[in-house]
Structure 1
Amino acid sequence: VQLMLVNLASPVGPPFALKTVTPSAFIQNMLQSTEERLNNTTEVNPPRILEWFDMSNTLHQKFSLIHMERPLFQPFPSELVFQNFTPLQTYKLPLILLNNDKVLRHVKLEQQESEDFFVVGPVNSGSKVAPGMSITFTVGFTPKENKDYEGRLICVTERERFEIPVRAIGPRAILDFRDEIFFPICLVKAFTQKTHLLRNIGNSQAKFKLHTQRPFSVKPSFGTLDVGESLQVTVSFHPLTVGDHREDLLLHYHTGEDVFISLCGSCEELDIHLEPECVTLKRTYIGLTNVHTVSLTNSSDTTLQYCWTMWPIQEVEEKNSVLLQEEKEEESKGQRLFECESSSTAAHHYSVQSGALQENGTTINCFYIFVVQKGEIWPNTTAQFSIVFKPEEAKIYQHTVYCDVTGRESNLPLTITGEGLGPELELSYSLMDMNNVFIGDKDQYDVQMSNVGFIEALFRFSVPDTTFGRCFSISPVEGVVPPGASQNVKVTFQSSNLGTFSEDLLLNVNGQPHPHTLTFRGCVIGPTFHFNVFELNFGDVAFGFPATLTCTLFNTSFVPMNFSLRVLGDGSGSQSVSSSSQVSNLSHKNWKGHAARVRPVEFTIIPAAGSVRAMSDVNIKVTLCSNTVKVYRLALVVDVEGGQTLQNLCDPALSSEAVSREGVSFLHSQASIDADSLRITLHLPDKEPHQSNS
């Protein structure tokens, strides 16, 4: 009884304290008898309160110093447990209720209906219990068979009702696991293992599951053992960070018990690095290769594993966190059991899963790492890695790859730099000033391309999609120039539009990021021409008597010229009448009527319109038949026609089309010809008409 009072005086723990049971404590508890377990119970917990009562209407002591989270009476033990029993025998346990209040309190025990458990109260069970004093009940148990039993007792005080669990533990499986497993010092990203022979020393079949957290893993993660059977369990330690690591290995029985085994390990880092850490490769032409060697030396006594990745380990772990989360979700939903990595490939589980390079010739931005992308380095040996540079463009390449190696927490970076050289194609000139170009004239220019490099140059010309850019044609427009050779290209220009221009023809060379520029600039002008005289002087001309003078129109341009001639200020009526026509056809009366008509057309030009071939001339006849007495001082005007069909005039026999007039008429001032050269002044004597009928 004194021992029980000491137990009651011990501190009461939190109502939901999490207890961690080691394998040795579990074995000890399971092998004890009912009385031994009671004697070894040293902790009490407040029971679960089912109902509260209002003490203001029934009691004189309406207030209590006991906190509402604790009942007025504390039961001991907090849970009545019967174990290692034999069927049809009766077992008894005392249940002590201690008055925690400062006043007298009444308590009674209500037994739930049960064929297996019974309660025997004390003689003074109806009286009140003094402060700090206790009352003892006896709980009996008579099992019919060897299995688990559950029940409860209801305790009623003046303030509350609470329950006391009662259970009987039947046959149990007991696995003799160690309380702690210590691993030797391990290199970061390496792994070490310990094997334990697990035996079932209980009296029931064991169905169990094993689970732990990284960096520890266990295999098998589940199993079944009959009584007396054994099984080898391998626990692995695979640290990814330097320092001490501690986790719990959870052993879960199918009967609901959980046992925790402590796992402890320490991790350290090796002094290992790549030689060199930065690689600068020689300048390499497109399509050619350049090789450099990088070494990694293992100076330890441990076999190291390596794996080349494209990302640092932080990014790889972020990518794998999604996969790990999916694994946890599947485990919580019961879709599959958790299985940890324990094979040799697990040393690079993260990098291989989402960042590793493949084997033999995997390209990384035009860099290749040959031999093997993952493997092992034996103790005190050196691994050689070949970095092959094969550029695809003429530019500077820079990339960083990472070697995930055992013994180093962070990946070893390797920065690779290389410059790709494209075909070296040079133009004989980059600017051509075409100056003045006649409209419709076809001009050709030769451009020489020289390949001064060591690889062939695949080229292609392109012209801008502009008004004058579409006037260029190139032959050949594409091709290949071998090393040390030259290629002539003809550039042809022909425009049907006037104006100044500056166009950039682009030479694109395969492998060069930027094209070469070939600039053509100039001005498209109309045809140039002039007359052989500056003036046509008819002198004194008789009334009605035709007079004819001739002149020559010279086309000084390299394109044909369409022209039309007219006299400014000439009449707009019918053709003038000559004197012979007047005498033979008109009477004097009719002549007066004829003179009163609208002023006739008095000048005749032959040809009035036509075409002059390039660098040629044409003779012009101008005839004046005057029907007006006056002084003539007029101008002979040349209208030069242009347009997109002007090119057809180079050889009339080539086209049967009429020359189209699109309203684009070039006057003398627009054709850059002096106005005096286009204006022919005709002088006639200023005479009054005769009064006679002659």
Structure 2
Amino acid sequence: MLDPEGIWVHPQELCACGSTAESALEKGSRRDVTRARTSLFSFRFHKWQNNRFMSFLQLPEVVKISMESSPYFQLVSSNNAYRVLLPGTSAPVRIRFTPGKGKDYSHKLVCTTARERIVVPIRAIGAQTILDFPDQLDFSECPVKHSSQKTLLVRNVSNRAVHYQLSTQSPFSVVPATGTVGAGDTMQVTVGFHALTTGDYSGSLCCHTGEESTHTELHAEAVELNIGLSTNAVAVKTTFITMSNHQTMFIENRSNVTAHFQWKAFPTEEGENREKRRQCRFLRPWSEMWQENLTEEEKSESETGSCEDHTALLSNTVLEEIAKVQQDPMLFSDDIFSIEPVEGEIGPNCLAEIKVTFKPIEALEYRSVAYCNISGCESRLPLRLKGHGKGPLVGLSCHTLNLGNVSVNTPHVREVQLINLGAIDAPFTYISSNANVGFCFKFAPTEAIIAPGGTQTIQVSFSATVVGTFEEEFQFSVAGSPRSAILTIK
């Protein structure tokens, strides 16, 4: 801060340089004496300082002290005054400084002798804008893939308002990035750290005020927390198609930090980004096709006198679709398996119950993998999912129907029952057969739906047209089941 009352000018270096001047004088070099003395009189002044002249000659020296007119610097004694310096003595020079604003000022003091003219630069340093940031900020150990923050209380220790700009490098962050702090006021600055991989990190927090920049060293170490899955595989029991079953597992947080989790479709973030790029490339052919259609529309509108900027509309539509792709969190999504909740938080030393639901659409074995992205764990944790879909289960009251001896061209009627042994409806269809003597048989009904636990009576009509023995298989296909119900008649 500049003192409004004045400045005493007194360079302490002057006496220390006496030997240099004396040696120059002994050599009789007038130029060397001038250079030695000039070097003694170049100073910066922050407060009142005393300046003294000292004679290194063997005879008295007459010195004229003068200064150009200035509204800020004045000699306390008369301007253009002469002083007599006896050998080995000194005389003080007092300069009054009256600043107008808190800025830097400069002026010149001229000292003239019979031998030489010495110009002494005078500089007054104005008040600097200073925010008292620490030299270093250490985050110590922080969970990986977790946002850690430290708040600084920063004070403006100067006498005027400061406009600042703050910046740092990833994985560090800072808010606010810009602002103004009044003289003597304080502000809160939040420095964040969010690393995606474990390891030691360092950076710099730069504060730029327009006049100068200060730097605070930042240090942090990203570590993994004690967080994991209760199991890495879930096998859901066999489930009828169109129905569902579920199994539960847990995410275990054995740390003292709240963890956030998401179930993802890809094992890595790089995989997600590749998929997003693929989807964005897929939008380009559609964009070209839309452009062709819009060109035709524009031609038609120009003929009717109507005009609309379809190109801009197309561009906005494509950009919106691309933005949706980029913002997609790529959470786990599957037609057969579902996970609830798909994301959430786990408190310190707590468990999160996860429900895995299996809903098959075909009588097949299904497999899938979901990846749990948890703050505090560098890699995503895989959860392997498995389930078996089961179709309708239909059985016969008897698998073999023995007709015995029958007469040719004589109708015979028998009955069998189809039984639904499963928990879902069983639609069936008789598959006609013309092999061997299959054309001699008729079944009624040929199709129907059997309710769970229900039965369907099938009438079997037979009229032999040839003589001999036979054994024939007849199939009833059940929708959704890989196996048919087979009736053997002989």
- State the TM-score, normalizing by the size of structure 2: 0.50
1:178 partner amino acid: P
Q: Deviations over 1:416-460 (max 9, x none)?
A: 101010112468999xxxxxxxxxxxxx99997553433211346
Q: Deviations over 1:226-255 (max 9, x none)?
A: 2222211111222221110112223233x3
Alignment of 1:82-481 (within 5 A): 88-89=71-72, 173-253=129-209, 255=210, 257-315=212-270, 318=273, 354-356=329-331, 364-370=334-340, 372-425=341-394, 450-459=419-428, 479-481=448-450
1:412 partner amino acid: L
Q: Deviations over 1:553-612 (max 9, x none)?
A: xxxxxxxxxxxxxxxxxxxxxxxxxxxxxxxxxxxxxxxxxxxxxxxxxxxxxxxxxxxx
Call closer, same or farther: CA 1:237–1:474 in 2, change over 3 Å: farther
1:366 partner amino acid: I
Q: Contact 1:208/1:223 (CA < 8 Å) preserved in 2?
A: yes
Q: CA deviation at 1:187?
A: 1.9
Q: Note the residue ranges of structure 1 that are not aligned, 5 or more in a row.
A: 4-32, 38-86, 92-142, 150-167, 323-350, 358-362, 431-443, 464-472, 493-504, 519-694
Q: Contact 1:173/1:204 (CA < 8 Å) preserved in 2?
A: yes
2:170 partner amino acid: R
Q: CA deviation at 1:517?
A: 11
Q: Note the residue ranges of structure 2 that are not aligned, 5 or more in a row.
A: 1-12, 14-41, 47-69, 75-98, 106-123, 278-325, 401-412, 433-441, 462-473
CA distance in 2, matches of 1:184, 1:265: 5
Q: CA deviation at 1:478?
A: 5.4
CA distance in 2, matches of 1:491, 1:90: 127
Q: Contact 2:159/2:183 (CA < 8 Å) preserved in 1?
A: yes
2:187 partner amino acid: L
SS, match of residue 129 in structure 2: coil
SS, match of residue 364 in structure 1: coil
1:400 partner amino acid: V
CA distance in 1, matches of 2:371, 2:163: 45
CA distance in 2, matches of 1:306, 1:416: 18
Alignment of 1:526-675 (within 5 A): none
Q: Contact 1:365/1:399 (CA < 8 Å) preserved in 2?
A: no
Q: Contact 1:307/1:352 (CA < 8 Å) preserved in 2?
A: no
CA distance in 2, matches of 1:478, 1:509: 10
Higher helix share: 2
CA distance in 1, matches of 2:140, 2:246: 42
Q: CA deviation at 1:411?
A: 1.3
Q: CA deviation at 1:267?
A: 1.6
CA distance in 1, matches of 2:104, 2:426: 89
Q: Contact 1:177/1:198 (CA < 8 Å) preserved in 2?
A: yes
Give the CA RMSD over aligned residues: 4.9
SS, match of residue 415 in structure 1: strand
Q: CA deviation at 1:317?
A: 6.1
Q: Contact 1:210/1:222 (CA < 8 Å) preserved in 2?
A: yes
Q: CA deviation at 1:398?
A: 0.9
1:185 partner amino acid: E
CA distance in 2, matches of 1:177, 1:395: 65
Q: Deviations over 1:266-306 (max 9, x none)?
A: 12113432122111221111233323221232223333332
SS, match of residue 183 in structure 1: strand
1:458 partner amino acid: P
Pairing 1:35–2:44 present? yes
CA distance in 1, matches of 2:419, 2:276: 57
CA distance in 2, matches of 1:315, 1:489: 60
1:35 partner amino acid: R
- For the pair shown, the structure with the greater C-alpha radius of gyration is 1
1:408 partner amino acid: C
SS, match of residue 338 in structure 2: strand
CA distance in 2, matches of 1:486, 1:308: 44
1:379 partner amino acid: P
2:480 partner amino acid: G
Count of residue pairs brought into register by the alignment: 305
CA distance in 2, matches of 1:289, 1:222: 55
CA distance in 2, matches of 1:462, 1:171: 100
CA distance in 2, matches of 1:88, 1:272: 72
Q: CA deviation at 1:216?
A: 1.7
Q: CA deviation at 1:225?
A: 1.5
CA distance in 1, matches of 2:275, 2:363: 37
CA distance in 2, matches of 1:205, 1:181: 25
Which residue number corresponds to residue 49 of structure 2? none
1:395 partner amino acid: L
Q: Deviations over 1:42-73 (max 9, x none)?
A: xxxxxxxxxxxxxxxxxxxxxxxxxxxxxxxx
SS, match of residue 140 in structure 2: coil
SS, match of residue 227 in structure 2: coil
Call closer, same or farther: CA 1:268–1:145 in 2, change over 3 Å: closer
- State the TM-score, normalizing by the size of structure 1: 0.37
CA distance in 2, matches of 1:508, 1:517: 7
